[in-house]
Chain A
Amino acid sequence: MSTIVLSEVRKTFPGGVKAVDGIDLTIESGEFMVLVGPSGCGKTTLLRMIAGLDGVDDGVIRLGDRDITHVEPRERDIAMVFQNYALYPHMSVRENLSYGLRVRKTPKPELEQRVAEVAELLGLHELLDRRPGALSGGQRQRVAMGRAIARRPQVYLMDEPLSNLDAKLRVRVRADLARLHAQLGVTTVYVTHDQVEAMQLGGRAAVMRDGRIQQVGRPQGLYRDPVNLFVASFIGSPSMNLVRGEIDGDAIHFAGHRVQLDEHRRPPAGSPGQVILGIRPEDFEDVHFAPPGLPTIDVPVVLVEDLGPEALAFFALDAERVESETLGVAAAGTDQEAMMADDRRALFSATLDPATSARRGDVCRLTVNPARFHFFSPYDGKSLLGADAERVEAVV
């Protein structure tokens, strides 16, 4: 059993910065859990606390039946892959792979066998006598993985291990990671700030902000049913379009448009009339390519990016932008935000059929799908669609 249970875990750095602020999380044995969030959200600190590299101010960390809150890292039976790999520069690949085993006084025949197995698994045979300095980024990453695997620990901790790789290699290594996890079945906690990585790798993902978990769930669940504005805007690329609107009976008014609501997807009775409406880019479509019967809006196109399988159109709405500060998104503005820096209007994105005739400067008629609308409270940012137990496992 290598279930990790975090109970009310807290960490405050000198100066009063709350890096981890009361985290409750259970990571099941054999699960691949991704901790995702913007820089400074506390995800790496939490990982280091699980590793024992940073102390815990309050709360309990359990691994299986053991309370490991104050146990030394070497006695936790975990392995960690670091962002910059942290390979020992003075040792060969073989020595790097076997260092943990040597420290634990593993008999030589077993040690050699394990190194050979790992080399076989990760294709490191030809690199065994090289030093890390003579390896490429991808090779170093594999050696770092191999060093973790060779020890056969109960848990793997990975701290943004793909961030130093180029985009193409990252895709390949990501697939390798998924394959390795399926093959080894070891509990894995993976930290990343890249929500795409979280979506692709995670059996489950925990979205973090300001030292707290915002939502835990399967990637599709986080994408389809975000519990608050932060998760809604953080998960998904391009991110969810947000605009202030007002519910008026069976319809919603936003930016001069009136759209009929879907009868099964609307804020519950008694909710405030003022809402923040969220629409994913793929829930728009050029009217010429959309199924009939959907409501339409006419919008001025600011830019169209032809991406091949789809076209990404940007259009301005006659409504004030929902500022990223409101959402608590720490990241700097996107390119599109920069493009509209002088414009206070909301800039929406829509993924359209690549054959769309929409061009910059045109007024384009788009359909929207009210069955996929998201509604958030303008006061606390929480979803107004209800905290359904099935889709929401943890909410602030």
Chain B
Amino acid sequence: MTATHTRAGRSRLSSLALAFLLLFGGVVFVGPLVVGLAHLSHFPYGVALFNSLVIAISFTALSTVSAAFAGYAFARSRVRWKNILFLFVLSTLMVPWIVTMIPQYVLFYRLHLINTPWPWVLWGIQGTPLQIFLFRQFYATFPRELEDAAAIDGSGRLRIFVDIFVPNSKPVIAIAAVWAFILVWGDYLTQDLFYLIDRNGTLLTRITGLINVDVAGGGLSSLPLALYAIPPVIFFVLVQRYITQTVVTTTGIKG
């Protein structure tokens, strides 16, 4: 009886301690955010965040769609030389971005696309070799019978892709999209170069400039950093179940 009481008392105590800990953690982490939000007028956060989201979302969406099409073609089309072309696409992975950055800057400058989101839109349309590789590998193992069944049911190539392949590709779409989003979101150098003149810049270029500069009192340096971290976290949380599905499926634990 006494032992039971003692165990219950300990349990209540540990629950209380945990509650205090969480509260303390909340104050520590949310505090700067609250303070910072009160000083938002001093910080061009809105426009910078908007710019960042525009380039990240447009690149993510376009590159994922584009790579999915390319991967489907490489995996399923019956075209001569497609494997050689695929190897060529893969070989571009070995060319460092830094090598082509200046020529691309000159190109976009001449096209008057510097300080606009258009470079990211065009890069997105082009897709990335890694994403193409991901989709190609996924579609190469996609059950051929499903494709055949849809063809006999009356679908053409595009419709088969949209109706059958895409809905069953959520895991690889999630992986490719997260990778693309993080690629753009954390790429300071490219954003700094291609948004150099814009006074608002992107969130990343802005907060980099604000680090160690106390603009409006304590905590503001932490604020943009915290806000900068939120979008990728939200994005990851939204798609993580599909990523887990991929890992589980590809490791053969699940059918």
Interface, chain A (partner B; CB < 8 A) = 48, 51-53, 72-74, 76, 78-80, 82-84, 86-90, 99-100, 103-104, 147, 151
The answer to whether A78 and B152 touch across the interface, beta carbons within 8 angstroms, is yes
Known: A74-B156, A103-B159. A86 touches B143 (CB 8 A): yes
Given contacts A79-B152, A86-B146, 16 further A-B contacts (CB under 8 A): A51-B148, A52-B152, A53-B152, A74-B151, A76-B152, A82-B145, A82-B148, A87-B149, A88-B146, A88-B149, A88-B164, A89-B146, A89-B168, A99-B150, A100-B152, A100-B154
The answer to whether A104 and B145 touch across the interface, beta carbons within 8 angstroms, is no
B167's closest neighbor in chain A, by CB? A90
> Which of B146, B151, B153, B163 makes the CB contact (< 8 A) with A53?
B151
A100 to B149 Cα, complex, angstroms = 9
Interface, chain B (partner A; CB < 8 A) = 143, 145-146, 148-156, 159, 163-164, 167-168
The answer to whether A86 and B149 touch across the interface, beta carbons within 8 angstroms, is yes
B148's closest neighbor in chain A, by CB? A53
The answer to whether A74 and B149 touch across the interface, beta carbons within 8 angstroms, is no
> Which of B146, B148, B154, B167 makes the CB contact (< 8 A) with A103?
B154
Min CB–CB distance A98 → chain B (angstroms): 10
A147 to B154 Cα, complex, angstroms = 12
A79 to B155 Cα, complex, angstroms = 13
A99's closest neighbor in chain B, by CB? B153
The answer to whether B153 and A74 touch across the interface, beta carbons within 8 angstroms, is yes
The answer to whether A51 and B153 touch across the interface, beta carbons within 8 angstroms, is no
The answer to whether B164 and A80 touch across the interface, beta carbons within 8 angstroms, is no
Min CB–CB distance A36 → chain B (angstroms): 21
> Which of A51, A87, A90, A103 makes the CB contact (< 8 A) with B155?
A103
A83 to B154 Cα, complex, angstroms = 20
The 9 listed contacts between A and B (C-beta, < 8 Å) are A51-B148, A72-B151, A73-B152, A74-B153, A79-B152, A83-B145, A84-B143, A86-B143, A103-B153
A147 to B145 Cα, complex, angstroms = 14
Of B148, B154, B155, B163, chain A has the most CB atoms within 10 Å of the CB of B154
A80 to B153 Cα, complex, angstroms = 9
B155's closest neighbor in chain A, by CB? A103
A147 to B150 Cα, complex, angstroms = 11
Min CB–CB distance B165 → chain A (angstroms): 10
The answer to whether B152 and A80 touch across the interface, beta carbons within 8 angstroms, is yes
A89 to B164 Cα, complex, angstroms = 9
Min CB–CB distance A252 → chain B (angstroms): 51
The answer to whether A74 and B154 touch across the interface, beta carbons within 8 angstroms, is yes
> Which of B146, B151, B159, B167 makes the CB contact (< 8 A) with A73?
B151
Which DSSP category, helix, strand, loop or mixed, fits chain A's interface?
loop
A78 to B159 Cα, complex, angstroms = 19
The answer to whether A51 and B152 touch across the interface, beta carbons within 8 angstroms, is yes
A133's closest neighbor in chain B, by CB? B255
A68 to B28 Cα, complex, angstroms = 73
> Which of B148, B153, B168 makes the CB contact (< 8 A) with A90?
B168
A100 to B151 Cα, complex, angstroms = 9
A48's closest neighbor in chain B, by CB? B148
The answer to whether B145 and A84 touch across the interface, beta carbons within 8 angstroms, is yes
A74's closest neighbor in chain B, by CB? B154
> Which of B148, B156, B159, B168 makes the CB contact (< 8 A) with A86?
B148
Min CB–CB distance B139 → chain A (angstroms): 15
The answer to whether B149 and A80 touch across the interface, beta carbons within 8 angstroms, is yes
A83's closest neighbor in chain B, by CB? B145
Of A52, A100, A104, chain B has the most CB atoms within 10 Å of the CB of A100
Min CB–CB distance B142 → chain A (angstroms): 11
Shortest beta-carbon contacts, A-B, top 7: A86-B145, A100-B153, A103-B154, A86-B149, A90-B167, A74-B154, A73-B151
Min CB–CB distance A152 → chain B (angstroms): 13
A51's closest neighbor in chain B, by CB? B152
- Neighbouring B residues of A48 by C-beta, 8 Å: 148
- Neighbouring B residues of A52 by C-beta, 8 Å: 151-152
- Neighbouring B residues of A78 by C-beta, 8 Å: 152
B164's closest neighbor in chain A, by CB? A88
- Neighbouring B residues of A82 by C-beta, 8 Å: 145, 148-149
A78's closest neighbor in chain B, by CB? B152
A153's closest neighbor in chain B, by CB? B152
- Neighbouring B residues of A86 by C-beta, 8 Å: 143, 145-146, 148-149
A48 to B147 Cα, complex, angstroms = 13
A79's closest neighbor in chain B, by CB? B152
A83 to B148 Cα, complex, angstroms = 12
- Neighbouring A residues of B150 by C-beta, 8 Å: 88, 99
A150's closest neighbor in chain B, by CB? B153
Min CB–CB distance B68 → chain A (angstroms): 16
Of B143, B146, B148, B156, chain A has the most CB atoms within 10 Å of the CB of B148
A89 to B145 Cα, complex, angstroms = 12
A272 to B159 Cα, complex, angstroms = 63
A52 to B149 Cα, complex, angstroms = 11
- Neighbouring B residues of A104 by C-beta, 8 Å: 154
A53 to B146 Cα, complex, angstroms = 12
> Which of A74, A83, A84, A90 makes the CB contact (< 8 A) with B152?
A74
Min CB–CB distance A19 → chain B (angstroms): 16
A339 to B164 Cα, complex, angstroms = 49
- Neighbouring B residues of A53 by C-beta, 8 Å: 148, 151-152
B170's closest neighbor in chain A, by CB? A90
- Neighbouring B residues of A73 by C-beta, 8 Å: 148, 151-152
Min CB–CB distance B157 → chain A (angstroms): 10
- Neighbouring B residues of A100 by C-beta, 8 Å: 152-154
Min CB–CB distance B147 → chain A (angstroms): 9
B159's closest neighbor in chain A, by CB? A103
B168's closest neighbor in chain A, by CB? A90
- Neighbouring A residues of B163 by C-beta, 8 Å: 88, 99
A87 to B146 Cα, complex, angstroms = 7
A15 to B61 Cα, complex, angstroms = 42
